[in-house]
Amino acid sequence: MATRLLSWWLFQKQKLSVIYTSVLLSLLISFASLVVFWYSLENYMISDLKPDPSLSIQLSNSNPSVSERSSKTSSHLRLNWTNGVIHASHRGSTHMSNESVLKIQTKSINYCPLTSPLLVGWLNISSILPGLLEDNTEDSNLKISGMYEPTNCQPREKVALIVPYRRRKEHLKIFLRYMHPFLQRQQLAYAVFVVEQFDSLPFNRGMLMNIGYKEAIKLDSFQCFIFHDVDLLPEDDRNLYKCPENGKPRQMAFLMDIYDYKPAPNSYFGGVNAFLTTNFKLINGFSNLFWGWGSEDDDLYHRLLRHNLTVVRLSLTNSSLVQIARYTMLDHDWVNPNPDREFLFKEGSYRQKYDGLSSLKYEVLKIDVTPLYTHILVDLRPKLPK
């Protein structure tokens, strides 16, 4: 009897062991299958998110739109402004810097080329001026307020064009009808702001430039500003109105027809110049104290030098490009120079920190949104306390 009971017990124990072993083996097989599946899925996702090296881009601190750079480890894009086209994905990395960056799949982004295929080169402005004076309402796909973005590619940066203005109606008409097609052939995203001085005080070009900067950044995010006299027209659309490099404001109008296209002195920084938004803020903008013609541009040049910024021209980067930087100046009456300009210029270093964007006072009388530009009418007269 005891022998039978022992045999039965051993049989049952062996049976249970087989069952337990089978269950355990099944669990191990399931776990192994799950690990293999998860590893394969993760590799697939990583390879899908990895950007194409030929299209990879990274933004520098100075230019939040697009500047192409290579990296040994990875490619990133910092998204500071977008029109909804860019779709970003993010993965952490032990090799990333402390700055927040977003990895994106760049294959779906069709950036505008660095050199537009629409450029036509030099134009004989004198031959097309009569047509620019004719009445026509074509706005060349402009959005309201003179804003434009190319529709067939993603623009690399957003540019604000600031034009100081008073009693130059014919010049403004020519300028707008010439500059819009010029800028659109460069496939830029841009907006035009015309800042008009309403009061009867002497014209204050620097102050109007500062106001244009202040009002534009309230309305949109611009990577750079181009400050542009209304009576200057670029003759060649290869003279690109794109953002300059960080720390290198660009002097653009140094070859003008009224001077037989002889290069202006290296210290000349008037007419047309381009700034990164951050660089213009760094130097506190233009001085507000130059009433009447002269020396506000010389003062601006020395503001750059005091902050160790370097002025660049096309002739400095490539002497073969110098001829494309020619400008035509529209005829106008000459004005008397500011009698205080030399004194103000000499004292500029002492007041730069307190004279400029930081001390700007004005009254906006009206902002009109027109098909070709945003019109900002301002009164610069100091207001007496009540």
| Residue 328 predicted with pLDDT over 90 | yes
CA distances 310 to 27, 248, 304, 345, 374, Å, are 70, 5, 7, 20, 31
SS3 at position 155: coil
Whole-model pTM over 0.75: no
| Residue 6 predicted with pLDDT over 70 | no
Mean pLDDT value across residues 34-44: 56
Q: What's the distance, CA 255 to chain centroid?
A: 25
Tell me the pLDDT tens digit for each residue of 178-232: 999 999 999 999 999 999 999 888 999 999 999 999 999 999 999 999 999 999 9
Give me the amino acid identity at 198. Answer: F
Contact 185, 232 (CB under 8 A): no
How far apart (Å, rounded) are the C-alpha atoms in residues 285 and 304? 10
Which residue, 327, 138, 302, 318, is CA-closest to 231? Answer: 327
Mean pLDDT value across residues 21-38: 66
Tell me the pLDDT tens digit for each residue of 92-130: 333 444 444 444 444 467 999 999 999 999 999 988 888
Task: Strands of 104-239 (E only): list them.
Answer: 147-148, 158-165, 189-197, 224-228, 232-234
What contacts 278, CB < 8 A, 6 or more positions away? 62, 246
Which residue, 301, 331, 299, 329, is CA-closest to 313? Answer: 301
Contact 360, 286 (CB under 8 A): no
Which residue, 257, 245, 256, is CA-closest to 311? Answer: 245
53-57, 130-134, 304-308: which has the highest mean pLDDT? Answer: 304-308
Q: What is the 8-class DSSP label of residue 229? A: -
Q: How confident is the model at residue 20 (pLDDT cuts 50, 70, 90)?
A: low
Q: What is the DSSP string of 39-104?
A: HHHHHHHHHHHSPPTTT--B--SS-SS-B----SS---B--S---S---B-----TT--SS--B-B
- Side-chain half-sphere CA neighbours of 171 within 13 A: 19
Q: How confident is the model at residue 349 (pLDDT cuts 50, 70, 90)?
A: low
